[in-house]
Amino acid sequence: MQGFQEFEPIFNEPRIEWAKNSNPGSGLMDQFFMHVFAPDGNHLKIRVTDYHSNTFEAIKSAMQLDDMRDCIGIGGSWNEFVEYLVASFKAEDVKLVLEKLSNSDDVAYAKLVAQKSKGMPLISISLTKLLDSAARDCMANMSFGLFKAFKCMKNMVVQEKEHSLQLTKIISAEKERSENIQRQLGKRQKLEKMNSSDKLDVSGPPASNGAQNSPDKLAGRDAASTKVTNRVVPAFRRAKVRGALLQDIEDDKDN
């Protein structure tokens, strides 16, 4: 069976309930403060006070609480039982049952009653009233314990704020880096588009050359060349004419 090595102190304000046939006196306080902690790994200490004239205490060993677990019928492992104790002591419905002495305003009896939720097993622990120096020491120790818990909580809040600030800076830096990358990618894509457009303009033939080399233009040129060639006088005709001219000249000489 394990003890209470990792038990965190619990602070709570129990709800006051008077036992039957016991009415509260005019001098009794209606607010109490509760402190549950483990002074060592084998004991649990419960203290309740109104910081006036009523201070109570109970010390329970791990063995005693294990016996109580069997009596109230809580199964499971020891760790599960400790978790149930913690949840019960932290609940809003924790009750401090008080009973007065007859014909007096002094409290003769007190017990702490807690449960995790309605319908769950009840944890009932009787408390012993402390007097004089024992009560004063108990109230002082509760005050110091509360102050330590406050400092611990404050440090945790400060650490969480610093951690949150660091995360915010990291997120901001990552966001700025992502935006820079997006801008660089946009510029690169724009430059690539401009380069590809320039390559198309240089490699493609001019529109005028394309029009001049179109099939219709080429067909027209071929037709024109054919007509010009047809106008040239054949060689045999040219020779015949020259022969005729030469014959004419000879005839003139003879005459």
DSSP, residue by residue, 69-104:
HHHHT--S-HHHHHHHHHHHHHSTT-EEEEEEPTTS
The helix-helix angle for 62-72 and 78-90 (nearest 10°) equals 80
For the ranges 4-18, 39-53, 139-153, 232-246, the lowest mean pLDDT is seen at: 232-246
Q: Tell me the CA distances in angstroms from 79 to 7, 124, 191, one per residue in order.
A: 11, 19, 66
Distance CA(52)–CA(25), nearest Å, equals 14
* pLDDT of 137 over the 70 cut: yes
For the ranges 9-18, 128-137, 218-227, 232-241, the lowest mean pLDDT is seen at: 232-241
Closest CA to 32 of 105, 110, 102: 110
- Residue 176 or 46, more confident: 46
> What is the mean predicted confidence (pLDDT) over 41-58?
93
- Angle ∠(74,10,4) on CA atoms, nearest 5: 55
Q: Tell me the CA distances in angstroms from 132 to 67, 135, 137, 138, 253, one per residue in order.
A: 32, 5, 9, 10, 178
Distance CA(43)–CA(66), nearest Å, equals 11
Place 44 in a pLDDT band, splitting at 50, 70 and 90.
very high
- Phi/psi for 238 (5° steps) reads -65, -40
Q: Which residues contact 87 (CB under 8 A, 6 or more apart)?
A: 116
Q: Maximum CA pair distance of the chain?
A: 191
Reported residue count of the chain is: 255
CB atoms within 10 A of CB 65: 20
List, for residues 54-80, the tens digit of each pLDDT value. Answer: 999 999 999 999 999 888 888 889 999
List, for residues 165-214, the tens digit of each pLDDT value. Answer: 889 989 988 988 898 898 888 888 888 888 887 766 655 555 555 555 55
Place 126 in a pLDDT band, splitting at 50, 70 and 90.
very high
List, for residues 8-30, the tens digit of each pLDDT value. Answer: 999 999 999 888 766 666 556 67
pTM value > 0.75: no
Q: Which two tokens stand for residue 255?
A: 């005459």
H or E segment to which residue 46 belongs: strand 43-49
Distance CA(145)–CA(211), nearest Å, equals 99
